[in-house]
Amino acid sequence: MEFGLSSEQTLLQDSINRFLTDQVPLDEIRKVAAGETDDAKTWERLTDLGIPGLMVSEANGGLGLSSLDAAVVAESLGYHVTPSPFISSAVIAPVVLQLAGTREDLLGGVATGETRIGIAFAEAMGARRDAGISVDNGKLQGKSLFALDSDANYYLVTTVDKHIYLVSADAAGLEVKNLTTVDKTRTTCELIYSEVEAELISDDSAVFDKALDAGLVAIAADTLGAAQCALDQAVTYAGQRVQFNRVIASFQAVKHMCAEMAANLEPCRSMVWYAAHAFNEIPEEASMMASHTKAHLSEVGQFVTRTATEVHGGMGFTDLVGLHYWFKRAGFNRQILGSPEMLRERAASIQNLAA
Amino acid sequence: MDLSFGAEYEEFREEVQQFIADNGDKSPKQGGMSNDETISWQKLLIEAGYAARTIPKEYGGFGAEPDIIKSRIIAEEFSGAQLSTGLGGQGISMLTPVLLEMGTEEQKQQFIKPTIHGDLIWCQGYSEPGAGSDLASLSTKAELNGDEWVVNGQKIWTSTAHRADWIFCLVRTEPEAPKHQGISFLLFRMDTPGIEVRPLVDMTGEVNFNEVFFTDVRVPKGQIVGQRGQGWQVANAILGHERGSLAPPDAAQTRLNGIIKLMNTETINGDKLIHNPVYRDRLMKIQGRVLAMKCNDMRLLSARINKNQDAKLAGMIVKLQGTELRHELESLAIDVMGEIGIAYGDNPYLRGHGSWQFQYMFFLGLIIGGGTSQIQKNIISERGLGMPKEPKVEK
Q: Are residues A260 and A312 in the same domain?
A: yes
Strands B122-125 and B166-172: parallel
CATH of the domain at A141: 2.40.110.10
Within chain B, strands assigned E span 122-125, 141-145, 148-156, 166-172, 183-189, 195-201, 207-220, 224-225, 267-268, 271-272
Q: Is A165 within a domain?
A: yes
pLDDT band at residue B240 under the 50/70/90 scheme: low
The reported pLDDT for the residue numbered B34 is: 74
- Residues of B belonging to the active site: 242
Q: Are A264 and B389 a contacting pair at CB < 8 A? A: no
CATH of B246-384, one of 1.20.1270.360, 1.20.140.10, 3.20.20.70, 2.10.109.10: 1.20.140.10
Q: Are residues A187 and A250 in the same domain?
A: no
Rg (Cα) of chain B, in Å, rounded?
Answer: 23
Is the ipTM above a cut-off of 0.90?
yes
| Contact indicator for B358, B204 with CB cutoff of 8 Å | yes
Q: Residue A195: is its pLDDT beyond 70? A: yes
Strands B166-172 and B183-189: antiparallel
Q: Are A259 and B298 a contacting pair at CB < 8 A? A: no
Q: Are residues A81 and A148 in the same domain?
A: no
Report the residue of chain A nearest B307, measured CA to CA: A2
Neighbours of B183 (CB within 10 A): 25
The reported pLDDT for the residue numbered B55 is: 96
The reported pLDDT for the residue numbered A344 is: 98
The reported pLDDT for the residue numbered B88 is: 86
CB-closest option in A262, A292, A299 to B385: A262
The reported pLDDT for the residue numbered A126 is: 86
Nearest-angstrom CA–CA distance, B46 and B23:
13
**End position of a domain, from candidates A82, A112, A142:** A112
Report the residue of chain B nearest A246, measured CA to CA: B391
Q: Residue B237: is its pLDDT beyond 90? A: no
Q: How far is CA B282 from CA A295, A334, B123, B139, B330, in A?
A: 12, 18, 39, 46, 12
In chain A, residues with a C-beta closer than 8 Å to the C-beta of B374 are: 252, 256
pLDDT band at residue A127 under the 50/70/90 scheme: confident
CB-closest option in A4, A277, A296 to B292: A296
CB-closest option in A247, A263, A296 to B288: A296
Q: Is A1 within a domain?
A: no
DSSP codes of every residue in B301-338: HHHHH-TT---HHHHHTHHHHHHHHHHHHHHHHHHHHG
Q: How many CB pairs under 8 A join A and B?
A: 156
Q: Does A175 touch chain B (CB under 8 A)?
A: no
| Contact indicator for B349, B323 with CB cutoff of 8 Å | no
Q: Are residues A186 and A240 in the same domain?
A: no
Question: Each residue of B225-256: b (16+ CB within 10 Å) or e?
Answer: bbebbbbbebbebbeeebbbebbbbeebbebb
CB within 8 Å of A239: residues ≥ 6 apart = A247, A249, B387, B388
DSSP codes of every residue in B78-119: HHHTT------SHIIIIIHHHHHHH--HHHHHHHHHHHHTTS
Domain tally, chain A:
3
Average pLDDT over residues A115-142: 92
With CA atoms as reference, report the closest residue to B161 among B206, B195, B186: B195
In chain A, residues with a C-beta closer than 8 Å to the C-beta of B305 are: 1-2
Nearest-angstrom CA–CA distance, B336 and A69:
41
The reported pLDDT for the residue numbered B392 is: 83
Q: Are residues A222 and A300 in the same domain?
A: yes
**End position of a domain, from candidates A112, A135, A158:** A112
Residue A152: domain span: 117-203
Q: Are B382 and A262 a contacting pair at CB < 8 A? A: no
Per-residue pLDDT reduced to its tens digit, B1-50: 999 999 999 999 999 999 999 999 999 876 556 788 899 999 999 999 99
Q: Are residues A198 and A258 in the same domain?
A: no
Selected residue with higher pLDDT from A231 and B82: A231
With CA atoms as reference, report the closest residue to B353 among B333, B328, B367: B333
Residue of B325, B387, B389 best to disrupt the A interface, most CBs of A under 10 A:
B387
Nearest-angstrom CA–CA distance, A252 and B331:
28
Q: Is A164 within a domain?
A: yes
Per-residue pLDDT reduced to its tens digit, A21-46: 999 999 999 999 999 999 999 999 99
The reported pLDDT for the residue numbered B29 is: 75
Q: Are A258 and B291 a contacting pair at CB < 8 A? A: no
Average pLDDT over residues A264-283: 98
Per-residue pLDDT reduced to its tens digit, B132-177: 989 999 999 999 999 999 999 999 999 999 999 999 999 999 999 9
Nearest-angstrom CA–CA distance, A73 and A86:
9
Average pLDDT over residues A75-103: 98
CB-closest option in A259, A264, A270 to B295: A270
Quick one: DSSP state of residue A238? H
Q: Are residues A151 and A105 in the same domain?
A: no
Average pLDDT over residues B105-111: 97
Q: Are residues A251 and A325 in the same domain?
A: yes
Neighbours of B102 (CB within 10 A): 17
In chain A, residues with a C-beta closer than 8 Å to the C-beta of B391 are: 246, 250
- Quick one: fold of B122-229? Butyryl-CoA Dehydrogenase, subunit A; domain 2 (2.40.110)
Average pLDDT over residues A264-291: 98
Query: Where do you find CATH 1.20.140.10 in chain B?
Result: 246-384
Q: Does A242 touch chain B (CB under 8 A)?
A: no
| Contact indicator for B70, B50 with CB cutoff of 8 Å | no
Query: Where do you find CATH 2.40.110.10 in chain B?
Result: 122-229
Q: Does A26 touch chain B (CB under 8 A)?
A: no
Q: Is A100 within a domain?
A: yes
Average pLDDT over residues B320-342: 97
Quick one: DSSP state of residue B125? E
Nearest-angstrom CA–CA distance, A52 and A168:
19
The reported pLDDT for the residue numbered B239 is: 60
Selected residue with higher pLDDT from A196 and A126: A196
- Classify the phi-psi angles of B127: left when phi > 0, otherwise alpha if psi is within -120 to 50, otherwise beta: beta
Per-residue pLDDT reduced to its tens digit, A43-55: 999 999 999 999 9
Per-residue pLDDT reduced to its tens digit, A297-340: 999 999 999 999 999 999 999 999 999 999 999 999 999 999 99
Q: Does A294 touch chain B (CB under 8 A)?
A: no
**Distance separating the N- and C-terminal Cα atoms of chain B:** 52
CATH of the domain at A51: 1.10.540.10
Residues in chain A: 355
With CA atoms as reference, report the closest residue to B283 among A223, A330, A285, A292: A292
Between vectors from CA B383 to CA B378 and to CA B388, what angle results, nearest 5°? 65
What is the SS3 assignment for A74? helix
CATH of the domain at A249: 1.20.140.10
CA-based max dimension of chain A: 74
With CA atoms as reference, report the closest residue to A222 among A38, A90, A49: A90
Average pLDDT over residues B214-233: 96
Q: Are residues A244 and A343 in the same domain?
A: yes
Q: Is A189 within a domain?
A: yes
With a CB-CB cutoff of 8 Å, which residues 296-315 of chain A face chain B?
A: 296, 299
Q: Are A259 and B291 a contacting pair at CB < 8 A? A: no
Dihedrals φ, ψ of B331, to 5°? -65, -35
Q: Is A355 within a domain?
A: no
Between vectors from CA A300 to CA B240 and to CA A279, what angle results, nearest 5°? 90
Per-residue pLDDT reduced to its tens digit, B72-81: 999 889 988 8
Q: Are A271 and B295 a contacting pair at CB < 8 A? A: yes
The reported pLDDT for the residue numbered A16 is: 97
In chain A, residues with a C-beta closer than 8 Å to the C-beta of B274 are: 353, 355
Quick one: DSSP state of residue B153? E
| Contact indicator for B302, B260 with CB cutoff of 8 Å | no
| Contact indicator for B81, B24 with CB cutoff of 8 Å | yes
How far, rounded to the nearest angstrom, does the alpha carbon of residue A46 sit from its chain's CA centroid? 16
Neighbours of A316 (CB within 10 A): 23
CB-closest option in A1, A256, A355 to B2: A1
Between vectors from CA A172 to CA A168 and to CA A176, what angle results, nearest 5°? 65
Q: Are residues A53 and A102 in the same domain?
A: yes
Which helix or strand (DSSP H or E) is residue A246 part of? Answer: strand A246-247
**End position of a domain, from candidates A142, A171, A203:** A203
Q: Are B288 and A266 a contacting pair at CB < 8 A? A: no
pLDDT band at residue B235 under the 50/70/90 scheme: confident
